[in-house]
Copies of this chain bind each other. A is one copy, B any other.
Amino acid sequence: MAESWPFLDTFEPNFRPLVVIELAKGTKEETIEWFTKRIVDKKANGGAQLLIKPLVTENRDEHIYLVGASHLRLLLGAEAVGLVKECSDNSMRTFTYSSRKTFKDFADDNHNFLTMAECQYIIKHELENLRAKDEKMIPGYPQAKLYPGKSIVRRLLTSGILVQIFPLHDREELKKLRHSWYGRVKVGYQPLDEIRCYFGETIALYFGFLEYFTFALIPMAVIGIPYYVFAWEDYDKYVVFATFNLLWSTVILEVWKRICAIMTYRWGTLLMKRQFEEPRPGFHGVLGINPVTGREEPVYSSIKRQIRIYLVSLPFVCLCLYFSLYVMMIYFDLEQWALDYHEVNESNFSSLMLFVPSIIYAIVIEIMNRIYRYAAEFLTSWENHRLESSYQNHLILKVLVFNFLNCFASLFYIAFVLFDMKLLRQSLATLLITSQILNQFAESLLPYWLQKRHKKRMKKRMCSLKTDTDLSLVEQVNLEKEMGTYFGTFDDYLELFLQFGYVSLFSCVYPLAAVFAVLNNITEIYSDALKMCRVYKRPFAEPTANIGVWQLAFETMSVISVVTNCILIGMSPQVNALFTDSKTDLILTVALVEHLLLAIKFIMAFVIPDKPRDIQIKLAKLEFESLEALKQQVRATDMYNSEK
């Protein structure tokens, strides 16, 4: 195969491989030829105008290709995806090729103007926008239908001809990043800008949030420690702690929006215009006309989707929630039964039996979580959302509600039905700590160990024991293509979300939760960093301006925690002692305080601006400039003078 690509080397002597394409074993020659031709073809002919090289491996059955692009092509691609870069005058502007000289660090021979992650994002974008012209099917595969405008890569993926596309690691850069990120023991911030350059904005923003959240928890942890040390149980101290917590959680969520705006402004994504979203790969429907674009594409009635959501998914989710509650009730019955059994016939066996219900419940919850996750993915996929973003939002909502109930229902039951504060504190501590330990293990250490083993085996097979950086390109690709795929920040945010729940929902019962959360998050940063750098394939960079639906989720949690904390304080014996003569007064006072706190929360969220003043001014300046430019255009037509 390699013989048919000589012209490439003459055009681009220093071909830099950026993205790897792996086709299925036994893919037909005609398909490969057609696909690669479309990739290198000129834009004017409907191609992507990229560079491609086959990777020659021992295994002649494998079809692996390296994709790159000329420097000029990348710059034009940067304009097409609407990248925002810093100008020489320190303002952020949308990059255009014609205005390239005005950008900071731009030089025609500076190939580092675009970061590698940006180059890979551009190539991914160009590949995904490679569209069928008049092909009715993928050559060689009559069952893989095409229609004008259908993304070729997406059809190749859904029909299994394309196994995977992934960006290559840059061993040198990765080594540098690893060193400054977690390689040395130091106290300080993460190198977020470097992470963003290497992994893109979505992942950098996750690590930014993780770091910010950890710092934000420190005041709560510091205030929480004396409650544990001195075993404070006074009413007034608890009220102070809980009130501080509630207001603090509002403040940190509002301030995060501001910090997020500062970061994404610097990265350019705050200004990036949202591209028109193409249908997600799994979307199907009758071929029709998209009312927005006027192009041919599958169309699926929105009413049908609504029916599926409200008449199937919603009842199913409710049923699952009910089932989860039912299982919880069985667990409490079992626990009671075990307790009774232990009391009646006290023996070693019976005291062992005491642990059985918890163990069974933990296992059942884990199984339910997994089954539910599959069901949620299946249902959301069956709802047939046109856009990936809408699919993601519906999936996140489904999973969030179920996970919330699974994690917290037993705590709510203990707190508000059994009224057992001691048991609540104990359960909370057990749940928090075990879940943290399990998570750390299952998420990073286990995959890291598996990966290490796999690497050793690979190296042995290749009979070469060089160090990482000395690996040949072939070896590097072979290693990386076997690595696990990072499926996005969903699970990482979910973990943080549940942790936030443990910390805030019952904060006045267990002030030490924040301490554990801080400790966990410090190690979490390192284990997540390890995971990104060592365990998984490099993910494609995704530009993003905020943490999206998670902001809403965290805010909702903080509203719920106002309610729970007020009730908990109202139930504490210290407070009850204050209202000995009238329980009604107690409840009314608690309700009043709760409403006041909620009102303060909403007013605070309303009063604190989402963007710092200087970012607001910078954004207003850009808007003003574009308005002025429009007016200049009007003046340029100069109709005034030509007529009079």
> In the complex the two chains form, is A76's CB within 8 Å of B624's CB?
no
A442 CB–B CB distance under 8 Å: no
Q: What chain B residues lie within 8 Å of A643 (beta carbons)?
A: 72
A627 CB–B CB distance under 8 Å: yes
Q: What chain B residues lie within 8 Å of A136 (beta carbons)?
A: none
Q: What chain B residues lie within 8 Å of A11 (beta carbons)?
A: 644
Contact of A635 among B43, B98, B293 (CB under 8 A): B43
For the complex, what is the distance from the CA of A496 to the CA of B637, rounded to whole Å? 47
Q: Chain B nearest CB: distance from A558 CB in Å?
A: 14
> In the complex the two chains form, is A634's CB within 8 Å of B587's CB?
no
> In the complex the two chains form, is B631's CB within 8 Å of A80's CB?
yes
For the complex, what is the distance from the CA of A623 to the CA of B637, rounded to whole Å? 25
Q: What chain B residues lie within 8 Å of A627 (beta carbons)?
A: 273, 275-276
Q: Which stretch in A17-25, A316-324, A613-621 binds the other chain?
A: A613-621
A641 CB–B CB distance under 8 Å: yes
Q: What chain B residues lie within 8 Å of A584 (beta carbons)?
A: 583-584, 587
Given known pairs A80-B634, A273-B627, the reply for A639 and B591 (CB within 8 Å) is no
A42 CB–B CB distance under 8 Å: yes
Contact of A76 among B42, B275, B291, B639 (CB under 8 A): B639
Contact of A621 among B72, B96, B292, B623 (CB under 8 A): B292
Q: Tell me the number of copies of this protein.
A: 2
Q: Chain B nearest CB: distance from A21 CB in Å?
A: 22
* A277-303 interface code vs B (CB 8 A; 1 in, 0 out): 000000000000001110000000010
Nearest residue (CB) in B for A587 is: B587
For the complex, what is the distance from the CA of A115 to the CA of B291, rounded to whole Å? 31
A264 CB–B CB distance under 8 Å: no
- A residues 591-644 touching B (CB-CB < 8 Å): 591, 595, 613, 617, 620-621, 623-624, 627, 631, 634-635, 637, 639-641, 643-644
A79 CB–B CB distance under 8 Å: yes
Q: Chain B nearest CB: distance from A614 CB in Å?
A: 9
Q: Chain B nearest CB: distance from A280 CB in Å?
A: 16
> In the complex the two chains form, is B98's CB within 8 Å of A640's CB?
no
A97 CB–B CB distance under 8 Å: yes
For the complex, what is the distance from the CA of A617 to the CA of B291, rounded to whole Å? 7
> In the complex the two chains form, is A72's CB within 8 Å of B639's CB?
yes
Nearest residue (CB) in B for A627 is: B276
A588 CB–B CB distance under 8 Å: yes
Q: What chain B residues lie within 8 Å of A273 (beta carbons)?
A: 627
> In the complex the two chains form, is B637's CB within 8 Å of A98's CB?
yes
Given known pairs A80-B634, A595-B563, A613-B302, the reply for A640 and B587 (CB within 8 Å) is no
Given known pairs A620-B292, A624-B293, the reply for A637 and B588 (CB within 8 Å) is no
A44 CB–B CB distance under 8 Å: yes
Q: What chain B residues lie within 8 Å of A380 (beta carbons)?
A: none
For the complex, what is the distance from the CA of A276 to the CA of B623, rounded to whole Å? 8
A504 CB–B CB distance under 8 Å: no
Q: Chain B nearest CB: distance from A482 CB in Å?
A: 36
A544 CB–B CB distance under 8 Å: no
For the complex, what is the distance from the CA of A627 to the CA of B278, rounded to whole Å? 13
Q: What chain B residues lie within 8 Å of A291 (beta carbons)?
A: 617, 621
10 A-B pairs (CB sep. < 8 Å):
A43-B635, A43-B640, A44-B640, A44-B641, A80-B634, A276-B627, A292-B620, A302-B613, A583-B584, A584-B584
Give 10 new A-B contacts, CB below 8 A, not counting A11-B644, A292-B624, A587-B588. Answer: A42-B640, A42-B644, A43-B635, A73-B640, A76-B639, A79-B634, A275-B627, A276-B623, A584-B587, A591-B591
The 7 tightest CB contacts between A and B, nearest first, are A292-B620, A292-B621, A43-B640, A587-B587, A291-B617, A276-B624, A583-B584
